[in-house]
């Protein structure tokens, strides 16, 4: 007897929500794992090894499922660029920053990625423009960053702590820029293979830069905690969580699938507090609330004016610019 299509769809949605829960938990705990890893290994060496191995795993799995692949010069260069922006600059910068700042603070800063994405879109598009909702979100986001500085004001005298915060901010901007490039230049030929290339190239660039930017003083190849955190990040943080995210995107609305961005900082702050005894005070909570609301407002304002532009084009098709 054939199964009811409604039951099949409900079962797939249930699996998608389970995958989303998995993403929320795993990507929220990666900040803790990174903090543990960089306590024992050079930051770029650690992050580069993680992403390079994860890239090999994802490429192998992608080719096992779908033999199609685009090895054209244009596609390779595109995946190299995205890999550099999102992984070498983005993930590598966050990993380096976590050598000097708590994992909870790094997570709060990284939760501002959608703000950077909206700002970059506004700056690069002639159709998009500011509105009151976007402006309110931007102001609230700046206040959130100010609260992060407020709670760590006594640590600002340490140049490395300040460098860690600035590097994490730049890394977040790099991840946002890479996300926009990736979205604008999507290649439909085996996207999992392309994602594996991004991981591979991003990791390779970090491994090349490591001798110049990392300190190998006191470095020991084997450390139990460092190796365990690396294994966790490779398997769960990169390979499985990314696959789960792609599955969630295919089964749930984008607004639901990206809810992890609102949950990850909270999990990161709590795990850092519980396992590493990182400071947790009223300013941490206020910064979390301010940044999450600012992300919501900026996304809402951007989507509102973007939808208005689409509706205007639909209403007056003769005024729409010609495609080149």
pLDDT, residue 153, reads 67
Tens of pLDDT along 259-302?
A: 777 788 889 989 999 999 988 888 888 888 888 888 888 778 87
Tens of pLDDT along 2-21?
A: 555 555 566 667 888 998 89
Q: What is the 3-state secondary structure (H, E, C) of the chain?
A: CCCCHHHHHHHHHHHHHHHHHHHHHHHHHHHHHHHHHHCCCCHHHHHHHHHHHHHHHHHHHHHHHCCCCCCCHHHHHHHHHHHHHHHHHHHHHHHHHCCCCCHHHHHHHHCCHHHHHHHHHHHHCCCCCCCHHHHHHHHHHHHHHHHHHHHCHHHCCCHHHHHHHHHHHHHHHHHHHHHHHHHHCCCCCCHHHHHHHHHHHHHHHHHHHHHHHCCCCCCCCCCHHHHHHHHHHHHHHHHHHHHHHHHHHHHCCHHHHCCHHHHHHHHHHHHHHHHHCCCCCHHHHHHHHHHHHHHHHHHHHHHHHHHHHHHHHHHCHHHCCCCC
Of 34, 94, 64, nearest in space to 228 by CA: 34
- Higher per-residue pLDDT: 147 or 63: 63
What are the backbone angles phi and psi of residue 259, rounded to the nearest 5°?
A: -65, -20
Q: What is the pTM of this model?
A: 0.82
pLDDT, residue 3, reads 56
Tens of pLDDT along 24-45?
A: 899 999 999 999 999 999 999 9
**Least confident residue range of 49-58, 63-72, 73-82:** 63-72
pLDDT, residue 307, reads 67
Residue 112: pLDDT above 80?
yes
Residue 309: pLDDT above 60?
no
Please state, in angstroms and rounded to a whole number, the distance separating the CA atoms of residues 174 and 93.
9
Across 94-101, average pLDDT? 95
Of 206, 195, 202, nearest in space to 81 by CA: 202
* Domain segments of the chain as ranges: 22-311
The burial class, CB within 10 Å (0-12 / 13-18 / 19+), for 117 is: buried
Tens of pLDDT along 198-247?
A: 999 999 999 999 999 999 988 888 899 999 999 999 999 988 887 788 78
pLDDT band, very low/low/confident/very high, at 163 (cuts 50, 70, 90): very high
Do residues 139 and 79 touch, judged by C-beta distance below 8 A?
no
């Amino acid at each position: 007897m054939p199964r009811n299509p409604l039951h099949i769809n409900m079962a797939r949605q249930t699996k998608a929500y389970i995958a989303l829960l998995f993403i929320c938990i795993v990507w929220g705990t990666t900040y803790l794992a990174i903090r543990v890893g960089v306590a024992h290994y050079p930051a770029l060496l650690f992050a580069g090894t993680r992403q390079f191995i994860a890239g090999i795993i994802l490429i192998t799995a992608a080719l096992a499922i779908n033999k199609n692949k685009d090895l054209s010069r244009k596609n390779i260069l595109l995946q190299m660029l995205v890999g550099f922006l999102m992984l070498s600059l983005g993930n590598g910068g966050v990993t380096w920053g976590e050598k000097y700042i708590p994992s909870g603070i790094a997570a709060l800063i990284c939760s501002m990625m959608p703000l950077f994405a909206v700002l970059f879109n506004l700056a690069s598009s002639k159709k998009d423009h500011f509105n009151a909702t976007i402006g309110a979100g931007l102001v609230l986001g700046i206040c959130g960053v100010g609260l992060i500085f407020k709670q760590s004001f006594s640590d600002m005298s340490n140049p490395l702590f300040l460098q860690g915060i600035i590097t994490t901010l730049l890394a977040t901007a790099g991840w946002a820029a890479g996300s926009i490039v990736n979205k604008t230049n999507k290649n439909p030929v085996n996207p999992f293979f392309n994602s594996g290339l991004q991981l591979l190239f991003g990791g390779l660039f970090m491994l090349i830069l490591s001798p110049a930017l990392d300190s190998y003083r006191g470095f020991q190849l084997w450390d139990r905690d460092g190796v365990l955190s690396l294994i966790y990040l490779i398997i769960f943080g990169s390979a499985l969580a990314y696959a789960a995210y792609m599955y969630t995107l295919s089964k749930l609305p984008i607004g639901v699938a990206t809810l992890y961005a609102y949950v990850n900082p909270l999990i990161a702050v709590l795990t850092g507090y519980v396992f590493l005894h990182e400071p947790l005070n009223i300013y941490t909570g206020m910064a979390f609330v301010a940044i999450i609301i600012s992300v919501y407002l900026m996304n809402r304002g951007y989507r509102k004016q973007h939808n208005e532009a689409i509706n205007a084009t639909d209403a007056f098709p003769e005024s729409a610019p010609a495609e080149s």
